[in-house]
Amino acid sequence: MPITTHTHTVTDEQAGRVDLVVRDLTGLSRSKLRGLFDHNCITVNDVTCDDVAVRVAAGDVVGVKFDPHQGYKEKPKIWEDNAFKIVFEDEDLIVVSKEAGVLVTPSSPDDQNTLVERVSNYLSRKRKNAAAGLVHRMERGASGLMVLAKTPDASQGLTRQFRDQQPSRSCIAVVMGTLDAAEGGFESWLGTRDNLDSFSMQEGESGGGKHAITRYKLLKQQEETAVVEVQLETARRHQLRVHFAEAGHPVLGDKRYGKKKAVHDRWNKKRLAMHCHHLAFKHPVTDRPVQFQTPIPFAIRRFKAGP
């Protein structure tokens, strides 16, 4: 069957959700539109787009390629929540991909719709008063994989692993500037200021500090930024952000540690350009190694692809 192809440059009037642009191009119903996104038929600036809610701006090029005689059925959604996506679940734990901008746990009495609250609401559908047990953290502005416990035994086992720095975590990040080496790392002792900012200090300084080790590989050097894969050998508060910022390469979008240096014309997101895409640990009940991966968010993939 012949393949139908549409390529369209977004106008000022069309700027907004990409699914509305695709609807105008194809005339398809909402369910069929979602099917095209689920089957990788849509691109924005030559980058595959699987999210109907992605926003496009004037000048972006939207591509549609599909067989009009094939039924691109929308893939079933396990659970709809704008705070997280479910990656894995069993009787003992749940692995989710946290969305950027979602606070993991309340930092003040007024904080609502945190990740722990939203996951607990999901779990309560099956078991009354079920609660998600927090065993590690993630920055509000970042996205990616997290594991939460569903039982006291799982909570104890996972907490012990994260306390002992046993799980393996890898992040994709976009940092500012030019990196001199294809791979490298940082090692320091991280302390905390009165305003809760983290900073590197010398071992043995007053106030102590926590040992922090960050390793990275350069994936792509761009004109003003670098895309790196980061291995967190330890997981201290704001570790990745502090280490790269102190080296002169703040994470894109990091207003806390990068200030004006972390700004780029092509990054208008309120999030950090940082995503935890790989997580591995031992199952706290079976003791078997498990590992999970999640796709890189479209916003980071589009930035990596270049203008």
Q: Which two tokens stand for residue 141?
A: 């502005």
Tokens of 171: 């992040």
**What is each CA distance from 164 to 161, 187, 276, in whole angstroms?**
5, 17, 19
Tell me which fold the domain 4-66 belongs to: 3.10.290
Residue 8 corresponds to which tokens in the numbers above? 């369209």
Q: Does the domain formed by 84-305 have CATH 3.30.2350.10?
A: yes
Q: Could you give the 3-state DSSP secondary structure of residue 115?
A: helix
Alpha-helix runs per DSSP H in 28-114: 30-38
State how far the Cα of 203 lies from the Cα of 244, in Å rounded to an integer: 19
Closest CA to 222 of 249, 198, 203, 246: 249
Closest CA to 28 of 41, 16, 12: 41
In this predicted structure, the answer to whether residue 204 has a pLDDT above a threshold of 90 is: no
Structure tokens that stand for 10 in this block: 């977004």
Q: Is the pLDDT confidence value at 55 over 80?
A: yes
Hey, where are the domains in the chain? Answer: 4-66, 84-305
CA nearest neighbour of 32 among 62, 73, 83: 73
Beta strands 143-149 and 274-282 are: parallel
In the structure, what pLDDT confidence band is assigned to residue 69 with cuts at 50, 70 and 90? confident
pLDDT at position 93: 97
- With beta carbons less than 8 A apart as the criterion, state whether 261 and 271 touch: no
pLDDT at 206: 62
d(CA 287, CA 246): 38
Pair 218, 183: CB distance under 8 Å? yes
With the CA atoms of 125, 128, 129 and 134 taken in that order, what torsion angle do they form, in degrees rounded to the nearest 10? Answer: -50
- 212 pLDDT above the threshold of 90: yes
pLDDT exceeding 70 applies to what percent of the chain?
A: 98
Residue 90 has pLDDT above 90, yes or no: yes
Three-state SS for 239? Answer: helix
